[in-house]
Amino acid sequence: MSGYSSKKNAASLKMDRRSFMKTSAVAAGAAAMVGGCGYFTGRAARAPRSVGKKVIIVGIDGMDPRLCRQMMAQDQLPNLKKLRDSGSFSDLGTSIPPQSPVAWANFINGNDPGSHGVFDFVHRDPHDPTGVISSTSTTTSGSGTFEWGKYELPIPLFSTDPTTKNTRHGKPFWDYLDEQGIPSTFYDLPCNYPPSPSQYGNHRCISGMGTPDMMGQAAFGTCQVFSETPCPADQPQPGPNFDWTKINFDGETANAMLAGPPEGMLLVAPNTAPPSSKTPFKIHRDRQANSVVIEIADRKIILKEGEWSRWVQVDFELDAPWWFKPTPHGGGICRFLLQKLEPLRLFVSPINIDPSAPAQQMSEPASFLPDVSKKLGLFGTAGFQEHNFARTNYLLDDQEFIKQASFVLEERLALLEHAMENYDEGLLYFYFSSSDLQSHMLWWQPPTPESQPGGDRSRSEAINNHSHVLRLYQTLDQVIGEIVERYGSVATVIVMSDHGFGNFDKEFHLNSWLRDTECEAGGKFLVCDPLCASLGDTEHPVNWAETKAYGHGINGLYLNMKGREKNGSVDPRDREKVIKDLIAQLEAVEDTEEGGKKAISKVYRTDEVYHGGNAALDFRPDLIVGYARGYRASWDTIDLKLGGEWFGKNTSPWGADHCINALEVPGVFFSNKEINAKSPSLVDVAPSILAQYEIATPSSMIGRNFFK
């Protein structure tokens, strides 16, 4: 799954201002996630007999075919090896670009971004090139309000609430199953927030990647740190994705305020986000016991140094007039980690939507998620559950990150057992994020004895981290083995990933290259004031009148077209010339520090590789930059900023990635059924599933049935 992340910012989906006004019961106490560290409690159970056709899909984000082959050759993945030998195994062609929301949308539609309109984790706004738009959902403002002092209140009977809409275009393949009365259930499906409705009531789904936390952040959520010391000056500073609060002890007690959802009723200036709501808590330190007691609401949580809490339900009372009854609340769940006793440092996870009483609909039907929570207790709901952003910004170290990521996997395994126990027929899809989000942090392999990893790791720590990835693959192999043992004789079982993985050693500052490179039409591709530090600099902005192209997002390259961009400079008659010039020069870029190694192996024209038209064409990049293995766009490029030199060493703990040339990072495909395609792709999975139920491939899909 990658990576729309920067060292300072991550793309956020700002939720509507009144979305958390829904009243929820105040929850007392933290519920424990059941399931433990084991796999299936019913390992010996056999699948129920049913007349209905069964298809089980296990989506393992980021599982890499090269590593799978290596481990199968060493007999480290015995169950996947059995699937390969008795059924099928192949690389699975990924999306262009190979980013998780794009790739999973290809899977959902049986088509590419020309159909579904998801081109990146984020889209640039053609009316404001420095702006960022979520690629998978959007929130529209409500109407019918009046001002009352400092509040903006709904007019009874005349107001409409803001709405959040899934902006993925086209028809998902499960709608065809729904129409035929074939049940389908999806757990943590990426690129489906808010969840698409089921017209005939045969589809159930819990949203996954793209689901925001209670702060409205759809990328990595907003974590919080409470410390006796200020945020160190030599590390990234607080921003949209983390808060740092300095606290003071009076004796052995400190008072603090936990930030929650935005204050939806407060009047704020245009284009200004409302302030966060707050809930108070106390920290009591006991040096003798090497622990603290956290008092929040009516709960007391005891933590020793290095210990994580279970999920804790927290309630935020939102500011409203005294006569506005019931007083609105916003409830969520979080975990606490006591990182250090003295000087105290307490880490708080992003505030997740409470699955037992969701403040936003994140399942179809809406009752599905609370029903699951009644049986399992509390579990994480944010789209990105592993705390990659916290690790990238040095808020967690590797061992703290690994421990937190293990909680995520335990919860997924308990959820999978629930899914299996409640599955009888139709299609079942289950998603694992661990192999992607852990690999971004832990995959890095030293290519040479002299090379050093980025971040704060030693070389030996980096190697040990990669061993953790190998053990993770083995754990998932055991899970697959139990699924096949349980259902393999009566179901088509598919194991697939959306893309592979590789080292991210060097970053390429695309906008710096555009700034320094002459184009055939004359002048530089990107022109800015000499004092401009970034494309977002309001005092010294880019000279858009002379700028011909700019990079935005991870792989996207846009022409500054007249009639499309706010201040376009490229005449449509010159578009072809500029595109050909960009492709030729980018594919010739060499990294002189690495002996002239090619940094970009392929630049794709979207008007050639995408099929179909949709309402999102304004967001479509003109070119997709396919980086060579070991390279990727710089963090500055993602944020639409200028760096210095063209190349730089990746010094972030985010040491591995996949947002490169799609041919370099295919996904994996395993099945207990043989396939007849030499090079299957993500777009082929949907028509192949439909064919299992004797449903012809719809005309909207470019994929084909690859099963024999």
Could you please report the per-residue DSSP string of 399-446? HHHHHHHHHHHHHHHHHHHHHHHT--SEEEEEEE-HHHHHHHHH----
Residue 13 pLDDT greater than 50, yes or no: no
Q: What percent of the chain has pLDDT over 90?
A: 69
pLDDT-derived band at 12 (thresholds 50, 70, 90) equals: very low
Helix (H) or strand (E) holding 140: strand 137-140
* Mean pLDDT within 147-153: 84
Q: What percent of the chain has pLDDT over 70?
A: 89
Q: What is the pLDDT of residue 154?
A: 84
Residue 535 pLDDT greater than 80, yes or no: no
pLDDT-derived band at 638 (thresholds 50, 70, 90) equals: confident
In order of 163, 395, 401, 402, the CA distances from 398 in angstroms are 39, 10, 5, 6
For the stretch 338-347, pLDDT in tens is 999 999 999 9
Distance of alpha carbon 186 from alpha carbon 364, whole angstroms: 10
pLDDT-derived band at 550 (thresholds 50, 70, 90) equals: very high
- Choose between 471 and 325: higher pLDDT: 471
| Rg (alpha carbons) of the chain, rounded to whole number | 25
- Choose between 454 and 382: higher pLDDT: 382
pLDDT-derived band at 133 (thresholds 50, 70, 90) equals: confident
Burial 239-261 (b: 16+ CB within 10 A, else e): ebbbbbbebeeeeeebebebbbb
pLDDT-derived band at 3 (thresholds 50, 70, 90) equals: very low
Residue 262 pLDDT greater than 90, yes or no: no
pLDDT-derived band at 46 (thresholds 50, 70, 90) equals: very low
Beta-bridge partners for 625? 603
Q: Which two tokens stand for residue 87?
A: 């059924």
Residue 145 pLDDT greater than 90, yes or no: no
For the stretch 186-236, pLDDT in tens is 999 999 999 999 999 999 999 999 999 988 887 788 999 999 999 999 888
The conformation of residue 157, written as its DSSP 8-state character, comes to T
Cis peptide before 343 (omega within 30 of 0): yes
- Choose between 17 and 101: higher pLDDT: 101
- Choose between 179 and 455: higher pLDDT: 179
Confirm if 235 and 456 have CB atoms less than 8 A apart. Answer: no
273-282, 574-583, 622-631, 692-701, range with the lowest pLDDT: 273-282
Domains of the chain: 1-30+218-357 (no CATH), 54-120+164-210+383-501+666-692 (3.40.720.10), 505-663 (no CATH)
Q: What is the pLDDT of residue 28?
A: 25
Q: For residue 39, what are the contacts with CB-CB under 8 A and spacing of at least 6?
A: 413, 417, 478, 479, 482
Confirm if 600 and 97 have CB atoms less than 8 A apart. Answer: no
The whole model's pTM is what? Answer: 0.91
Q: Number of H helices and number of E strands within the chain?
A: 15, 36
Residue 111 pLDDT greater than 50, yes or no: yes
Q: What is the pLDDT of residue 42?
A: 42
In the predicted model, what is the mean pLDDT of the chain?
88
Q: What is the pLDDT of residue 542?
A: 81
201-205, 478-482, 534-538, 557-561, range with the lowest pLDDT: 534-538
Burial of residue 52, with CB atoms counted within 10 A of its CB: 0-12 exposed, 13-18 middle, 19 or more buried: exposed
Residue 50 pLDDT greater than 60, yes or no: no
75 Rama sector, left if φ>0, alpha if ψ -120 to 50, beta otherwise: left
Helix (H) or strand (E) holding 24: none
Q: What is the pLDDT of residue 41?
A: 41
Distance of alpha carbon 119 from alpha carbon 61, whole angstroms: 18
pLDDT-derived band at 452 (thresholds 50, 70, 90) equals: low
Cis peptide before 97 (omega within 30 of 0): yes
For the stretch 651-697, pLDDT in tens is 889 999 999 999 999 999 999 999 998 899 999 999 999 999 999 99
Give the amino acid at 485: E
Q: Tell which residue, 422, 416, 515, 522, has the closest CA to residue 475.
A: 416
Which residue bears the tokens 């999920």?
311
Residue 239 pLDDT greater than 60, yes or no: yes
